[in-house]
Homo-oligomer: A and B are copies of this chain.
Amino acid sequence: MPIRDLGHSRIDTHRELRCGFPEAVFGAGKTPAELVDVARALVEHHRRFFATRVGDEGAAALREAFPDAVVHERSRIVALDRRSSAPETGLVLVAAAGTSDGAVAEEAALTARAMGARTELLEDVGVAGIHRLLAHSERLRSARALVVVAGMEGALPSVVGGLVDRPVIAVPTSVGYGASFGGVAALLAMLNSCAAGVTVVNIDNGFGAGYAAAQINRDLATRES
């Protein structure tokens, strides 16, 4: 079995072959020491790591162990890539409804980029000021895959879905209060979208959306040849 056992974690070193991307590190609930262990093993095998939901202490430990790692404060991502840079391809467009949705949107964009996609981020284009969104219709239509991030009433993916001919991945966020129930209102709205082609990930799961968008974005011709 191509599994590397670190005691606290087992790293599946063949995953890149099977799924096209090495394991990402889910930082929540890991100690700084564990994070560094896992990151070191990944760097050995793949010359890179990509960790999400990293707390302050974890980020400090990673930066100390890997001085060339990049820490993204807003989205709590720490990443390192020592490979010679590959060109980014295609386009994953990430649109966010409100300012507070920015951290999740950034998580999606950084994930997609780490998987080789060219990405753009379009913020603060919520539906209560619909003209802000419509002004970017052409840009929306130029993407191979779109990630649409929204909290509160979660309406943005439905509007975007009606404007484009490519898949829209909707990310509900926990932005809101009262009857938003920590993102449930947005999640339900997105699952009930009247626009065909909209699929949904878990609340605040920017990583999952960016990952799926990058899979879609990859050049199929390359894969099949």
Is B134's CB under 8 angstroms from A130's CB? yes
Among A41-49, A58-66, A75-83, A147-155, the one that faces the other chain is A147-155
Say whether A192 contacts B186, CB under 8 Å: yes
Which residues of B are found within 8 Å of A102, using beta-carbon distances?
8
Interface of A is mostly: mixed
Q: Are A208 and B201 in contact (CB under 8 A)?
A: no
Query: For the complex, is A86 an interface residue (Cβ under 8 Å from B)?
Result: no
Question: A33 at the A/B interface (Cβ < 8 Å)?
Answer: no
* Given A155-B158, A189-B185, A195:B128 Cβ within 8 A: yes
A199 B208 Cβ-Cβ under 8 A:
yes
A128 touches B215 (CB 8 A): no
Pairwise interchain contact B130-A190, C-beta atoms closer than 8 A: no
Q: How many residues of A are in contact with the other chain, CB < 8 A?
A: 92
Candidates B12, B174, B179; contact of A132 at CB < 8 Å = B12
Q: In the complex, what distance in Å separates the CA atom of A191 from the CA atom of B199? A: 11
Residues of B within 8 A of A192 (CB): 152-154, 176, 178-180, 185-186, 202
- Provide a sorted-by-A list of 28 A–B residue pairs whose CB atoms are within 8 angstroms: A1-B132, A12-B132, A19-B164, A21-B196, A30-B99, A98-B194, A126-B194, A127-B127, A127-B159, A128-B162, A128-B195, A130-B130, A134-B134, A153-B189, A155-B158, A155-B159, A167-B212, A176-B192, A178-B183, A178-B202, A178-B204, A179-B188, A180-B188, A180-B192, A188-B189, A199-B208, A216-B216, A220-B221
13 more A-B contacts (CB under 8 A) besides A178-B204, A198-B201? A1-B135, A24-B196, A90-B220, A154-B192, A155-B155, A167-B212, A167-B215, A178-B187, A178-B205, A179-B183, A179-B188, A199-B212, A220-B221
